Amino acid sequence: MSSPTSIPVMNEGERVDDYLRRYERNELLRFLTCGSVDDGKSTLIGRLLHDTGRIYEDHMAALEKDSKVHGTTGGGLDLALAVDGLKAEREQGITIDVAWRYFATARRSFIIADCPGHEQYTRNMATGASHCQLAISLIDARKGVTTQTRRHAFIASLLGIRHVVAAVNKMDIVGWSEERFRAIEREFVDFCARIGIPDPVAVPISALNGDNVVKRSEHTPWYSGSPVLELLEAVPVDRPSPDANFRMPVQFVLRPDLNFRGFAGQIAAGSVKPGDRVRILPSGKETRVRRIARAPEDGGDAPLAYAPQSVVLTFEDEVDCSRGDVIVCIGRDPAVTQRVECDLVWMQEQPLVRGQQLMLRVGAKQTACTVRRVRWLVDVDTLGTQPADTLRLNEIGRVELECEERVVVDGYRECHGTGALILVDRMTNATAGAGMVRLATDPGSKRAHWETEALATLERAEDKPSFVNAEERQRRWQQKPRTILLYGPPGSGKTREAHEMERKFFDQGAAVVMLDGQAMRRGLSKDLGFSDEDRSENLRRAAEVARLLNDQGFVVILAMAAPDPEARERARELVGQDRWEARNMGAR
């Protein structure tokens, strides 16, 4: 087997075109480096390029010369300069823009996104991460896990990156301390577990000296894992499944003459072949695929196409289909809606506020939209959410958008191509935010009334305050009001547990009320069935009652199925984070 540092070489007697085809068949991995400023991201990439033979003699000579002028290593070779290409970057010794680099070994080809560490350039990191399958998070061994480290990891998790490597850099400065490395490893792994990143890996490295980057280091006999390059070569690459639901946003219509009308776009998910029945959204018109058109010099029409190929389709029928429409398979349709809820990374100095008008782009569709509200802001240190009216630069939160035209979207985790969106400033045409679709609803359909606003003619509760305040109630009942949700499927024991908890609290002198989902259905919710929307609405009504009782100083116990995490999150927001506790009885 070839060493990991070797690149594909021509075999004796091998033709050049055969070598190039073999080289092109190398499996491709896109990854990014991220972390706080000065953690050594550019140096790590420079070391990878240098030790895999991807810095050529003329480039090396230029690097040696530039290192004496712009270098940060005391006149020695500064490999970070191989990546920091902008003049401003070299003068400041930082990365500003996302730098893309390419290298290969005999086992795999790589495209690297070197993302900036400064907080003000977080938007650049989000842009780079959206194209990648793996993230290397650089952590300075002296500083440990920082807020910026957590922010980048959280953005990576939102974007669906499943593979994360924590490169604990500058270990030579802390004397290759295993104790220091293990403490950072535990903190980072625990954080990744909380945000849903499976099996993160930590590696002790010195990017400057090359320890554990390409080759194992003699300074870490206590580390039994692989160096960074071996991990990059071994990590499984997620490929688009041909069995996924077919999605193809139409980018433009080809009409070279009167006899041809084709619809061009990149397949976002699934596969398609001639004869497949498809639906054009948002119109809903159905037809069959006649051809996957290709020029004769490219081999003629294709028998099959799949993500992420760019293709031209023709149909058997004359149907209305234009740029921004989405071609889908007959089956599970994406949402066609004017209302979208998304996790948003805000990228402008001016804060995002309710009522703000922007342009929304998803797939090839562009339409005006209005911010209905900011539902919450995420604290990247604690991963808790807090009510918010605005999002500031680099903040991440849940936002509801109202679109002027109907858009075709999937949840981001179901299909990145139809679940990723950007918001554009209508005046400057600058990217204002990047979002991942979490929920899409049709305002005209039957739904739970989480977002329904009370009549404007009603007086607000704060305008008619009670003569008994919260502190007086707390002194009277000797307790803090709270709501405890016990949720789980039928047979999970939630109702029995709720009764036992109620008895215990009552015997301790607490003012406590227990609300059962079935009991709710015999009265307040007797108009509801058992659909997802009806279950969500039942929980909303119970949460509204719980909030009123909490305001009176009571402890409230809810026993409900509540299978939808989105509905549970909304209930928590409605009752109040400081009053809310949820326990999964089905996980016991």
User: When comparing pLDDT for 42 and 483, which is higher?
Assistant: 483
Q: What is the pLDDT of residue 87?
A: 37
| 516 close to 499: Cβ distance less than 8 angstroms | no
Asked if pLDDT for residue 570 goes beyond 60, the answer is yes
Highest mean pLDDT among 14-23, 53-62, 361-370: 361-370
Q: What is the pLDDT of residue 453?
A: 62
Q: Which residue type occupies 114?
A: D
User: When comparing pLDDT for 20 and 235, which is higher?
Assistant: 235
State pLDDT tens for residues 389-412: 999 988 889 999 999 999 999 888
Asked if pLDDT for residue 77 goes beyond 50, the answer is yes
Q: How confident is the model at residue 67 (pLDDT cuts 50, 70, 90)?
A: low
Query: Of the ranges 69-73, 257-261, 543-547, which one carries the lowest mean pLDDT score?
Result: 69-73
Task: Find residue 272's DSSP bridge partners.
Answer: 305
Task: Find residue 102's DSSP bridge partners.
Answer: 111
Query: What gap in Å lies between CA 294 and CA 310, rounded to an integer?
Result: 11
Distances (CA, A) of 540 to 50, 170, 364: 58, 51, 36
Query: What gap in Å lies between CA 73 and CA 89, rounded to an integer?
Result: 16
Asked if pLDDT for residue 250 goes beyond 80, the answer is yes
Q: What is the pLDDT of residue 34?
A: 85
Q: Residue holding tokens 């985790």? A: 413
**45 CB contacts (<8 Å, ≥6 apart)?**
33, 82, 83, 99, 101, 112, 114
Distances (CA, A) of 216 to 54, 135, 227, 360: 20, 21, 6, 48
CA dihedral 428, 430, 433, 434 (to 10 degrees): 150
Give the CATH number of domain 469-587.
3.40.50.300
Cα dihedral 371, 283, 306, 299 sign: negative
State pLDDT tens for residues 265-309: 999 999 999 999 999 999 999 999 999 999 888 889 999 999 889
Distances (CA, A) of 188 to 51, 184, 394: 28, 6, 21
Q: Which residue type occupies 300?
A: G
Contacts for 210-215: CB closer than 8 Å, 24+ residues apart? 210/47, 210/51, 211/171, 211/172, 213/44, 213/47, 213/48, 213/51, 214/4, 214/5, 214/47, 214/48, 214/51, 214/52, 215/5, 215/51
Q: Are strands 262-266 and 310-315 parallel, antiparallel or unpaired?
A: antiparallel
User: When comparing pLDDT for 569 and 499, which is higher?
Assistant: 499
| 200 close to 137: Cβ distance less than 8 angstroms | no
Number of helical (H) and strand (E) elements in the chain, helices listed first? 14, 28
Q: Is 587 exposed, middle or buried (0-12, 13-18, 19+ CB in 10 A)?
A: exposed
| 140 close to 169: Cβ distance less than 8 angstroms | yes
Q: What is the pLDDT of residue 555?
A: 94
Task: Locate CATH 2.40.30.10 in the chain.
Answer: 247-329, 335-441
Q: Are strands 252-254 and 277-281 parallel, antiparallel or unpaired?
A: unpaired
Q: Quick one: angle between helices 565-575 and 532-551, nearest 10? A: 20
Round the CA-based radius of gyration of the chain to a whole number and report it. Answer: 28
pTM: 0.67
Query: What gap in Å lies between CA 112 and CA 110, rounded to an integer?
Result: 6
User: When comparing pLDDT for 472 and 230, which is higher?
Assistant: 230
Query: What gap in Å lies between CA 222 and CA 183, rounded to an integer?
Result: 14
Distances (CA, A) of 29 to 110, 362, 515, 562: 5, 25, 52, 40
Span 239-252, average pLDDT = 87
Give the H or E element holding residue 477: helix 470-477
Q: What is the pLDDT of residue 536?
A: 86
The 3-state DSSP class for residue 292 equals strand
Task: Find residue 407's DSSP bridge partners.
Answer: 337
Asked if pLDDT for residue 82 goes beyond 90, the answer is no
Q: How confident is the model at residue 239 (pLDDT cuts 50, 70, 90)?
A: confident
Query: Of the ranges 175-189, 277-291, 426-440, which one carries the lowest mean pLDDT score?
Result: 426-440
Query: Of the ranges 149-163, 177-191, 546-560, which one carries the lowest mean pLDDT score?
Result: 149-163
Q: What is the pLDDT of residue 5?
A: 45
Q: What is the pLDDT of residue 158?
A: 82
User: What architecture does CATH give domain 247-329?
Assistant: Beta Barrel (2.40)
User: When comparing pLDDT for 53 and 336, which is higher?
Assistant: 336
User: What architecture does CATH give domain 335-441?
Assistant: Beta Barrel (2.40)
State yes or no: cis peptide before 282, omega within 30 of 0: yes
Query: What gap in Å lies between CA 451 and CA 537, rounded to an integer?
Result: 11
State pLDDT tens for residues 453-467: 665 555 655 667 788
Contacts for 448-455: CB closer than 8 Å, 24+ residues apart? 448/533, 448/534, 448/536, 448/537, 448/539, 448/540, 448/567, 449/537, 449/540, 450/536, 450/540, 450/567, 450/570, 450/574, 451/372, 451/400
Q: What is the pLDDT of residue 386?
A: 83
DSSP string for 167-180: EEE-TTTTTT-HHH
Question: How far, in whole angstroms, is CA 372 from its chain's centroid?
Answer: 22
Asked if pLDDT for residue 60 goes beyond 60, the answer is yes
Task: Locate CATH 3.40.50.300 in the chain.
Answer: 16-234, 469-587
**Domain at 16-234, CATH from 3.40.50.12160, 3.40.50.300, 2.70.98.40, 3.40.630.10:** 3.40.50.300
Q: How confident is the model at residue 432 (pLDDT cuts 50, 70, 90)?
A: very high
Structure tokens at 551: 């305001």
State pLDDT tens for residues 302-361: 999 998 899 999 999 999 999 999 999 987 788 888 989 999 999 888 999 999 999 999
Q: What is the pLDDT of residue 426?
A: 92
State pLDDT tens for residues 87-133: 333 344 443 456 678 888 888 889 888 776 555 556 666 767 777 88
Task: Find residue 440's DSSP bridge partners.
Answer: 340
State pLDDT tens for residues 194-227: 888 888 999 999 998 999 999 999 999 999 999 9
Percent of the chain with pLDDT over 90: 43
Structure tokens at 262: 């084709």
Q: Count CB neighbours of 118 within 10 A.
A: 16
| 537 close to 528: Cβ distance less than 8 angstroms | yes
Average pLDDT value over all residues in the chain = 84
**421 CB contacts (<8 Å, ≥6 apart)?**
340, 342, 360, 361, 362, 409, 434, 435, 436, 437
Q: How confident is the model at residue 52 (pLDDT cuts 50, 70, 90)?
A: confident
| 502 close to 510: Cβ distance less than 8 angstroms | no
Q: What is the pLDDT of residue 10?
A: 61
Q: What is the pLDDT of residue 501?
A: 93
Span 2-31, average pLDDT = 66
